[in-house]
Chains A and B, each alone.
Chain A
Amino acid sequence: MDETEAALIRRCQAGDKEAFEPIVRRYAGAACGAAYVRLGCHDEALDASQEAFVRAWRHIKRFDTHAPFFPWYAAILRNVCIGRLRHRARRRTVSLPDDHRDPSSDGDPVLLAERSERRDRIWRALLRLTPDHREIILMAHFQGMAYREMADALGIPIGTVMSRLHNARQALRERLSEGES
């Protein structure tokens, strides 16, 4: 973590809400994108990522300023998204049409930087993968996590990370080739 961010976090830990604003601004794009990959709905991704920032603020005193902020926040965001997916699954028993939303149905790649035709196609194919595969690709590529970090975050052995990521990439290649044919 750079000095400025560490200093901001320390001010947050002292209760200064204004110091939280630059941190939220810095990571808002990555936060919304990560939530979107998991939830598949722009409005819900916005809401979940904001809720995760609120939770991060509530627990900011426990945060070790020597560690980077975003991985800690990303773990909180993951928990928020899992909670929402569970809630959505429970509500499905009463058949609410909006809650059946799948990421592939709303896959406009507006959240991507430096778009190209190829990247747009990869994005749409990514959103058609299973939740486990979407998540591991998000962590490996968009969040740049190493295998050990992913294993710790997901609570799975490193060998499972290896096979899951490989399977996710193969599934993505298949989705892309389906789109081309």
Chain B
Amino acid sequence: MNCGEARELLSAYLDGELAPDRRQRVHEHLDACDACSRELAALKGLTEDLNMMRFREPEDAELQRYWAGVYNRLERSVGWVLFSAGAILLLCYGAFHLIEAIVEDPAIDLAVKVGACALVFGSIVLLVSILRERLTVRRADRYSKEVQR
């Protein structure tokens, strides 16, 4: 094993992640090579520092605000689902009755009837298209899925 090969494996050697035979070969190289041993010592110092670093625990008041933020979102997410479902339902109902009233009213010009129908059907096509795009992206994107464990 030369120095280049050994240095590539130093991190894994330090972390105890090398297979026994590779570990032995790195070990033998280190016994014979002062430069790589110094490299290992420097890397070990940094690794030990990193291993000692931790994120601090927030204070109680911070945690209280943090939890309140999470809790509010949990409640609001239910509210948004209900609000959206209700709004879609009412809009569909309203659009259906609007079209029905316009189409059946003989006083309204044909052009207005066609325009109103085009507007409503166009909105439906756009909504379906956006939903389909969202679903396609979601299926193809591994980062949009939650982890199942």
Contacts and interface: CB of A to CB of B under 8 A. Distances in A.
Interface of A: 17, 20-21, 24-25, 28-30, 32-34, 46, 50-51, 53-55, 57-59, 62-64, 67, 71-72, 75-76, 78-79, 82-83, 86, 110-114, 118-119, 122-123, 137, 140-142, 146-147, 155, 162-163, 165-166, 169, 172-173, 176
A25 B8 contact: no
A165 B52 CA distance: 17
Given A17-B74, A24-B67, A29 B10 contact: no
B41 interface: no
Contact of B147 (A29, A75, A118, A147): A75
A72 B42 CA distance: 34
B70 A169 contact: no
B66 A123 contact: no
Interface of B: 8-12, 15, 17, 42-43, 46-47, 49-58, 62-63, 66-67, 69-71, 73-74, 77, 142-149
Nearest to B76: A54
The prevalent SS among residues of A at the interface is helix
A166 B74 contact: no
A17 B42 CA distance: 48
Contacts of A141: 47, 50-51, 53
Contacts of B58: 28-29, 32
Nearest to A158: B17
